[in-house]
Amino acid sequence: MESYKVYIDSAAWMCEGNIVGMSRIYQYLLQNGHKIINNHSEADFIIINSCGFVKSREEFCLYLFNNYYSQKKENASIIMFGCLIKINNKLVKSLDLIPIDFDEGKKFDKIFFKTIKFEDIPPSSDNKIIDSLFFPNKIVKESEFISFLLPRIMSHFSKRIKRNYDKIIKRVHFKDKILIEICNGCIFNCRYCVIKNAKGRIKSRKIKDIIENIEKLYVPKKNIFLVADDCGSYGLDINTNLFELLKQINEKFPNISIELDAINPYWLEKYPDKYFKLFSEVKISFVTIPVQSGSSRVLKHMNRNYNVKKIEKIVKRIKKVAPHTAIYTHFIVSYPTERFIDFLKSIICSMYFDLPIVLVYSGHKDIKNNNILEKQSKFAEVYRYTFFMLFLNLVIFYKLLKFSKIKVN
């Protein structure tokens, strides 16, 4: 089979799952004797790892396609892989490209296979691969993180702030991390979320496969980032669970530092004591607990099944049993049923976490009723997002200034 020159790009370079997907494609191509190049106009194939998490990512996928399509060689082909294939199949089908869904690895094999199949490449990535993937034109600019704007400016005037600010940027740039996917898909049916549409129900990797993956990549002093759409759902399909996985990883690598991708707060409310024990016994340096709203009324409409006040208490307890753990979260502002009082509740709730990430409601189809929820006014979106960002800038700046060791590792 012929060897091809391939250019690869992503519509979501800050998504851990997307990075793992890119790494898998990268390893697969190299191990089958193909060449990764930095100039898309010279490529035989251009691969776009897509994203449909929010509407802006869909639009960016379309922008990437149009840009590369207008500049590619006449006989070159564009492949689109990942989330958008099922999220907006109508759009993808309208484009002159080869669509490949998550479970369609055999399509890659028909084009690129020589010695190893796509399904045999583990979903993981180390620093060497990440550094290779992040070509100079794709390096994430610190200035894009609006919640860090004030801390970034003030870091030029204080060594303490700069030291702690650099730790945050190191976190969001995937420095000194090994990414290992443990599962993908989701069991929940949140009204606003399209992940289940893209990936289906939970699909977990076997514990022995994950540990073998870690053994091949692990380097002391580097954190292991366990990637999943919901870590809390791990193992439901293979008769195991996250607690057993982390127990075995910790026994095999007793000094390992683990970072956890999203854990749906539902699991913390269902198994609080097990999670307290987990955080006290395993060195978990980072976890994301996406509460999405501080309002029980909004959460009910979102189809998020947990009590936010109980989650606040659980997070507070986790901080006591594991003071070294950095706890991040996500909030959606201007959700269709969000009132101003609900918005204020989210701001108050954000103070229980080390770093909240704020997203504006995107306007995807309501998963529960199969219709589009009416968005709030642009004015409401802008002022709530801006107000939240200003608040977070002040909070993060205060933390950087007050603490000699901020929890971001």
100 neighbors 81 (Cβ within 8 angstroms):
yes
Phi then psi for residue 264, to 5 deg, are: -60, 130
Q: How far apart are CA 380 and CA 171, in angstroms?
A: 31
What is the span of the domain harbouring residue 69?
5-123
Q: Do 251 and 188 share a structural domain?
A: yes
pLDDT value of residue 137: 46
Q: How far apart are CA 58 and CA 91, in angstroms?
A: 9
Q: Residue 136, CB half-sphere, CA atoms under 13 Å: how many?
A: 2
Report pTM: 0.91
Residue that has been written with the tokens 């002391």 in this structure: 220
Residue that has been written with the tokens 């199969």 in this structure: 370
Q: Do 32 and 119 share a structural domain?
A: yes
Q: Do 345 and 224 share a structural domain?
A: yes
- Does residue 50 belong to any structural domain of this protein? yes
Instruction: Give, in degrees to the nearest 5, the angle at Cα 285 between 227 and 288.
Output: 50
- Does residue 45 belong to any structural domain of this protein? yes
Comparing C-alpha atoms, which of 298, 229, 224, 293 is closest to residue 263?
Answer: 229
Tell me which of 85, 101, 123 is where a domain ends: 123
- Does residue 19 belong to any structural domain of this protein? yes
- Does residue 162 belong to any structural domain of this protein? no
Q: Do 209 and 79 share a structural domain?
A: no
Handedness of CA 121, 124, 127, 129 (dihedral sign): positive
Give the distance, in angstroms, between the CA of residue 348 and the centroid of all CA atoms in the same chain.
Answer: 24
Q: How far apart are CA 19 and CA 34, in angstroms?
A: 20
Number of domains in the chain: 2
CATH for 218:
3.80.30.20
Tokens of 176: 């000194």
Q: Do 308 and 215 share a structural domain?
A: yes
pLDDT tens by residue, the chain, 409 residues: 789 999 999 998 888 999 999 999 999 999 999 999 999 999 999 999 999 988 889 999 999 999 999 999 999 999 999 999 999 999 999 999 999 999 899 999 999 999 999 999 999 998 788 777 765 445 455 444 666 777 778 777 878 777 777 766 666 666 678 999 999 999 999 999 999 999 999 999 999 999 999 999 998 888 999 999 999 999 999 999 999 999 999 999 998 999 999 999 999 999 999 999 999 999 999 999 999 999 999 999 999 999 999 999 999 999 999 998 999 999 999 999 999 999 999 999 999 998 888 999 987 655 555 566 788 999 999 999 999 999 988 888 887 776 644 455 5
Tell me which of 123, 157, 190 is where a domain ends: 123
Q: Left, alpha or beta for 200 (phi > 0: left; psi -120 to 50: alpha)?
A: left
Q: Do 357 and 219 share a structural domain?
A: yes
49 neighbors 22 (Cβ within 8 angstroms):
yes
- Convert 242-267 to b/e letters by CB count within 10 Å (16 or more is b): bbebbeebbeebeebbbbbbbbbbbb
Q: What is the spatial order of strands in the sheet that 35-36 belongs to?
A: 35-36, 5-10, 45-50, 77-82, 98-100
Q: Do 361 and 269 share a structural domain?
A: yes
pLDDT value of residue 361: 93
pLDDT value of residue 365: 59
Tokens of 112: 């690129």
Tokens of 123: 């979903």
CATH for 107:
3.40.50.12160
Give the β-pairing of 5-10 and 45-50: parallel
- Does residue 170 belong to any structural domain of this protein? no
Tokens of 269: 């409310």
